[in-house]
Structures are given as structure tokens and as C-alpha cells.
Amino acid sequence: MASAPPGTFGTPRMFIDRGAGGEAEVVLADSKGRDRIRLKVDAGDVPSLEFLDEEGKTVYRLPPEAPGPRGD
């Protein structure tokens, strides 16, 4: 199967990362490449989900308040 030429797929819309500190993150972007949703699990195994506006500001977060280092 031949690979597609660079730029064929347009703006990157999804990013998956594992940070040096042990956190895991999936970021979904809009059609202009702006981050709009972040799904994370931190190094302490605490999950979070953030919805971002066009400027990248968090407009909604689950859990609503950042939990402590052990999730409490």
C-alpha cells in the first residue's frame, strides 16, 4: 500500500501522547486544528475530561474540581 503525499489528510485532528511524568492524553481538534477536547489520565491514575472553546479556554471539566493526588 502506497503512503499518501504530505498534506493529503489536511489539518491534524487527533493527538495521542504519553508524557515523561507518566500521564496519558488524547486531544481532539476542530477543523482549524484548535484543541477542543482533552481526555487525560494523570500519573496518579486520576482521569479528567475537558471541553475547550475556540481560544483554548476550558468551558467544562469532569470532574468539575481538580482532585487531590490520590483522586480525593
Residue 61: alpha-carbon gap to chain centroid: 12
pLDDT digits (tens, 9 = 90+) for 13-52: 999 999 889 999 999 999 999 999 999 999 999 999 999 9
Res 66: pLDDT: 57
Closest CA to 22 of 40, 39, 42: 42
Res 69: pLDDT: 59
Res 56: pLDDT: 95
pTM of the model: 0.74
